[in-house]
Amino acid sequence: MDIKQMIAESIQHAFPELSIEQIASRIEKPKYAQHGDYAFPVFDLAKLKKQAPPAIATSLSSMIHHPWVMKTEAVGPYVNFFLQKEKVQKEIVSTIIASGKDFGNLQIGKGENVVLDLSSPNIAKPFSMGHLRSTVIGNSLANILEKCGYQTVRINYLGDWGTQFGKLIAAYLKWGSAEAVRKNPIPELLKLYVKFHQEAETDPSLDDEGRLWFKRLEDGNEEALALWNWFREESLHEFQRIYDLLGIEFDSFNGEAFYNDKMEAIINRLKELNLLTLSEGAEVVELDESLSLPPCLIRKSDGATLYATRDLAAAFYRKKEYNFAKALYIVGQEQTVHFQQVKSVVQKMGERWAEDMHHIPFGLLLKDGKKMSTRKGKIILLEKVIQEAIELAESNIAAKNPHLPNKQEVARLVGVGAIIFHDLKNFRLNSIEFSLADMLKFEGETGPYVQYTHARACSILRKASWSAPGHAPSQGLNDDYSWNLSKLLYEFPGTLTKACEGFDPSIIAKYIVDVCQSFNSWYGHQKFLTEDEEKGSRLSLVYATTLVIQESLHLLGMGAPEEM
Ligand code: ARG
């Protein structure tokens, strides 16, 4: 039972014109405690009722009777609700405990498929901060959608195709050494690629050579394919270490190369539909000028296909393979035009499902206000950054809790959690300043703070030797701290709905901080283990809190160690 729903039901008889959902969606949380637990504003119902808002509020207030409602008050254009704390509190905790991990599960998705295009680093290049953001945001969105009843497919659309691989092969054959690549794959391949560009400035014939090798690759030349495959495997191996640290898995690694043989069909279809035009020898799709989108380049004059061509083939393939209800592309905002173009082409091809393609853009990770670049020589290797976070977490643990069992795994969960939380607590379009020291603080809105609050709650239960599942409290609590916490816990499903609809994990991150703050103020005012008749009810609420924090952390892709 949802509280807002309950309130909506108790007043619906006064507004037969509105549905319960419409009424529930109007219910607010008053800013000040003296205005009650919930408030129902009526000012925009004046027309409907042909009455002044305060009069509506007064007459409505006198009509409300419900066992959960202690009293109502009409204040100006609002009806304020004061609930029967003990009754409702007990009901909330019982519901959460009875649902366990399933608390908050929703059926919005009705089992439909969502494909998420996430992470998608480029072969032979370092894993960038942008790819980290895509990985973390995309994984969290997938978790959120799953809890909302969708089936998800996490696709790592590797950047493993394109003319740059021709250049890389040419560079390797000229200057490369197998041993060096094996030892240090990504930096070595990057070096070759950079050298190729430098040399090509004075020797333009190199570019032709690069193109030639890419052509060979596309045509299935064995030598080219073998080298490409090897570069790909070595790179994937490197990336996998990062995914293991983050604890993230994918359902598919079908990258750009996978679509090499699937583009021709799309190009033919575009031709049939008369959508291709020639522009300086290249084939393009003109897009609506009203959107001021540049034409979408489909095939260059030398016959080479492009990034957009592959994304088109991938979109059609995914529709056919997964019949998705939504296709999300978690990619930096700098690619916004690209995704608008791809979507517009699909639209022009008459496919209604173009509407279900959503680019989920995000901002930059900054270091001292500047973009953290993996290009231009000064690469910051992401794996090192993650390792550093884990090491810092480890030394924190060593100082605070030296006898902790399972120290290394906890340090990984805390270090990685710090990075994830730091990313997800901000609305994704904001650029964020990357500072390990800030991320790893135990105070403020950080990963360690929320994980530590969870561990603190677990420790109360441990000390009380409390084993919960199935136990509902026999009575409710009625102090303000536990009441505020309980109400907040009950907002979990509604919070999840908002996060799902807005594709916005930061809603969950902010919610966890609220829950932790509320728990910690209760903690500061309460002796949990005192033997009195409320002890069981207190422990039940502590347990319900751990359940909600765990589930919320899981939605962000973070672990919840019981001790740290
Ligand atoms: N590999 C690309 C890059 O690093 C990202 C791919 C994003 N996904 C897509 N379907 N285009 O910029």
Tell me, using a 6 A CB cutoff, whether residue 117 lines ligand 1. yes
53-67, 281-295, 529-543: segment of lowest average pLDDT: 281-295
Tell me, using a 6 A CB cutoff, whether residue 188 lines ligand 1. no
Q: What angle do CA 227, 229, 234 make, to 5 degrees?
A: 95
Residue among 127, 253, 262, 335 whose CB has most ligand 1 atoms within 8 A, to mutate: 335
Per-residue DSSP letter, 43: G
Residue 284 or 382, more confident: 284
Please give the Cα distance from 536 to 60 (Å, whole number).
Answer: 38
* pLDDT at 510 > cutoff 80: yes
Q: Which residues of 132-154 are buried (b: 16+ CB within 10 A; e: fewer)?
A: bbbbbbbbbbbbbbbbbebbbbb
Please give the Cα distance from 513 to 505 (Å, whole number).
Answer: 13
Distance, CA 322 to ligand 1 centroid (Å)? 20
pTM recorded for the entire structure: 0.94
Q: Which of the four pLDDT bands, split at 50, 70 and 90, describes residue 513?
A: very high
86-100, 169-183, 427-441, 476-490: segment of lowest average pLDDT: 427-441
Tell me, using a 6 A CB cutoff, whether residue 308 lines ligand 1. no
State mean pLDDT over 181-190.
92
Q: What is the pLDDT of residue 436?
A: 85
Q: What is the pLDDT of residue 1?
A: 64
Distance, CA 44 to ligand 1 centroid (Å)? 46
Please give the Cα distance from 152 to 116 (Å, whole number).
Answer: 7
Most confident of 350-359, 394-403, 441-450: 350-359
Alpha carbon separation from 520 to 32, 207, 535 (Å, rounded): 20, 62, 18
What percent of the chain is modeled with pLDDT above 70? 98
Please give the Cα distance from 56 to 75 (Å, whole number).
Answer: 11
The values of phi and psi at residue 74, to 5°, are -90, 120
* Mean pLDDT score of the chain: 93
Tell me, using a 6 A CB cutoff, whether residue 329 lines ligand 1. yes
First to last CA, the chain: 35
State mean pLDDT over 102-113.
97
Distance, CA 401 to ligand 1 centroid (Å)? 42
Interval 272-322: pLDDT, tens: 999 999 999 999 999 977 778 999 999 999 888 899 999 999 999 999 999
Q: What is the pLDDT of residue 380?
A: 63
Distance, CA 382 to ligand 1 centroid (Å)? 18
62-76, 277-291, 342-356, 481-495: segment of lowest average pLDDT: 277-291
Cβ within 8 Å of residue 467, ≥6 positions away: none
CB atoms under 10 Å from CB of 442, counted, come to 15
Distance, CA 101 to ligand 1 centroid (Å)? 34
Tell me, using a 6 A CB cutoff, whether residue 259 lines ligand 1. no
Please give the Cα distance from 390 to 252 (Å, whole number).
Answer: 28
State mean pLDDT over 229-234.
96
Distance, CA 357 to ligand 1 centroid (Å)? 15
* pLDDT at 163 > cutoff 70: yes
Distance, CA 329 to ligand 1 centroid (Å)? 9
Please give the Cα distance from 535 to 526 (Å, whole number).
Answer: 11
Residue among 116, 118, 157 whose CB has most ligand 1 atoms within 8 A, to mutate: 157
In one letter, which amino acid is 373? Answer: S
Q: Which of the four pLDDT bands, split at 50, 70 and 90, describes residue 435?
A: confident
Distance, CA 177 to ligand 1 centroid (Å)? 29
Q: What does 320-331 look like in DSSP terms, one character per residue?
A: HHH--SEEEEE-
Q: What is the pLDDT of residue 474?
A: 82
Token pair 């499902």 in the structure block, residue: 353
Residue among 135, 252, 319, 331 whose CB has most ligand 1 atoms within 8 A, to mutate: 331
Q: What is the pLDDT of residue 362?
A: 97
Tell me, using a 6 A CB cutoff, whether residue 159 lines ligand 1. yes
| Closest to 165 (Cα-Cα) out of 219, 221, 120, 225 | 225
Distance, CA 157 to ligand 1 centroid (Å)? 7
Distance, CA 121 to ligand 1 centroid (Å)? 7
* pLDDT at 254 > cutoff 90: yes
State mean pLDDT over 425-452.
91
Q: What is the pLDDT of residue 539?
A: 94
For the chain, the 3-state helix, strand and coil shares in percent, each to the nearest 5, are 60, 10, 30
Interval 141-152: pLDDT, tens: 999 999 999 999
For ligand 1, atom 5, name the residue with the nearest CA.
120
Please give the Cα distance from 390 to 420 (Å, whole number).
Answer: 12
Residue among 120, 317, 360 whose CB has most ligand 1 atoms within 8 A, to mutate: 120
Nearest atom in ligand 1 to 311's CA: 10
What percent of the chain is modeled with pLDDT above 90? 82
